[in-house]
A and B are shown apart, each in its own frame.
Chain A
Amino acid sequence: MSLPGWKQLPIGAVILTPGSSVEYKTGEWRTLRPEIDQEKCIRCRTCWMYCPEGAIQEVEEPYKTKTGREFKLTYKVDYDYCKGCGICANECPVKAITMVEEVI
């Protein structure tokens, strides 16, 4: 990717587009990746509450466990922004989130 040179950049590092921080993907900072075991997850929303980056997404996607339990929602990790801090895994009351080493 080619980045703008000093003549192209707005002076004083002013950012002229509001809300543009979403374009800054912080996922590559991660060394450990949280993975949610949908079978163990009880949809309690604790990870969603604790995530400091808002990187846990609550998706309206039904899920049926092997034991027959049905959920209307599924929790997913937005890996574009998740920095891998592990707070979700630490807080999860049923240990449904595992931190897995990122391998390049």
Chain B
Amino acid sequence: MGKVLPLGGNYAVAYAVKACDVDVITAYPISPQTTIVERLSEFVANGELNAEFLHVESEHTALSVAIGAAAVGARTYSATCSQGLALMNELLYIMSYIRLPMVLTIVNRALSAPINIWNDHSDFMSVNDSGWIMMMSASNQEAYDEILLGYRIAEDPRVLLPVITSMDGYIQSHVVEPVEIVSDEEAISFAPKRRSWVTLDPDKPVTMGPVGDPSYYFEFRRQLWEAMKESRKVFDEATEEFAKRFGRKYSAIETYMLEDAEVAIVGMGSFMGTIKAFVDRARRDGVKVGALRVKLYRPFPSEDIARALSNVKLVGVMDRALMPGSAAGGHLHHEVAFALRQAGLETKTIGFIAGLGGRLLTMDNVKQMVNVLINYKDKTVKELPKEPIFIGVRE
């Protein structure tokens, strides 16, 4: 048992980054992420962490500098959200396709407009095809642990991909929970620094980021598909080893009361705690409802989800981001529906859009979703709503 500290999600992440002995931190403030890099700057100033702490002039530069740092083999960290992540966008693809490992934390926040600093998942979802491994935590402890898992997975020679870890803005980042922290030795032993692929070195010159004309570009896209697939095995090994060392077991998905469930809610992030609490309450009333939380979003755990939902009649997929004009309404619904279809299952789905821009989500909202599911569970696919159902919006 390590030391337990009362930590907000941001400070928890800062402690984990320190424990992983990062070499370079590129920092640009943005709410609600700011206190991660603020705490890290204190660690560096106090001499508790021997790292280059680089104040840059934008998030675009934050990730540009991170690319340079990772290219020379430094263990690199940055954090951002919302508009900051949007400004990083073009560099995200460069980082992943040059196959440079790093860890970036997104403290989930809505995208403008209107300007909104509160929590939803639209920033996270907006980068879901950038070639990064993506995880979303549901507690501050998990946000802490994701950093350790992140470095171990990112730098694995079978992977060599950057990793996004995330938590819900304010709901996690600024709410204090007990967090068990591990010693620096334990962290490094679990996630040793091991850059095996080439780095920029004047003695052994290489070119990174060249032009890939039509006769070469495609092959590197194909390579990344494979690396992403391979990373799933590494994720499973890492979570297994993590459980052995630290006693906390994570999986790509977290299932709750699905064994005999007729209906279920699938979602991501901290609100799943409220959904689980509602499931407990509904179960006491004899309602056969379950829940599934997706932790690992890239690579998407399609088979795990299909297996877990194979006996459920109707699944409500709750998205906290909107894909306007899309078939599914939300990103997670799109992925889950396709996963079920690929597995040849009859399981039906309904999309819910909820909690955008920090709109408060309550037990009543969960009840509303579960009631919809119960009403539709015995209907045919053709009778299901063709559009997502917006939960908690004023008509």
Contacts and interface: CB of A to CB of B under 8 A. Distances in A.
B96 to A, nearest CB: 9
Contacts of A11: 99, 160, 197, 223, 227
A12 interface: yes
Nearest to B205: A18
Contacts of A3: 215-216
B206 A18 contact: yes
Interface residues of A, number: 13
A6 B227 CA distance: 12
Given A12-B208, A14-B206, A15-B206, A6 B98 contact: no
Nearest to A15: B207
B216 A15 contact: no
Given A3-B215, A3-B216, A9 B223 contact: yes
A13 B93 CA distance: 13
B27 interface: no
A53 to B, nearest CB: 15
B100 interface: yes
Contacts of A9: 216, 219-220, 223
B207 A12 contact: no
Interface string A1-25: 0011110011111111010000000
B222 interface: yes
Residue among A4, A10, A12 with most chain B CB within 10 A: A12
Contacts of A4: 219
Contacts of B160: 11-12
A13 B71 CA distance: 13
Interface string B196-221: 01100000011111101001100110
A96 to B, nearest CB: 34
B210 A15 contact: yes
Contacts of A6: 219-220, 222-223, 226
Contacts of A13: 97-98, 208-210, 212, 216, 220
Contacts of B208: 12-15
Interface residues of B, number: 22
Nearest to B97: A12
B351 to A, nearest CB: 35
Nearest to B208: A14
A14 B97 contact: no
Contact of B99 (A5, A12, A15, A16): A12
Contacts of B100: 12
Contacts of B212: 13
Contacts of B220: 6, 9, 12-13
Nearest to B157: A11
A11 B208 CA distance: 10
Given A16-B198, A18-B205, A18-B206, A5 B219 contact: yes
A19 B212 CA distance: 17
A37 to B, nearest CB: 34
Nearest to A8: B219
Nearest to B98: A12
A16 B204 CA distance: 9
Contact of A14 (B207, B215, B222): B207
Interface string B95-120: 00111100000000000000000000
A88 B324 CA distance: 53
Contacts of A12: 97-100, 160, 197, 208, 220, 223
6 residue pairs, one from A and one from B, having the closest CB atoms: A12-B99, A15-B207, A6-B219, A18-B205, A6-B222, A12-B98
5 contacts: A11-B223, A12-B99, A12-B220, A12-B223, A16-B206
Given A6-B219, A12-B197, A16-B206, 10 more contacts: A6-B222, A6-B223, A11-B197, A12-B97, A12-B99, A12-B220, A13-B208, A13-B212, A14-B208, A15-B210
Interface of A: 3-6, 9-16, 18
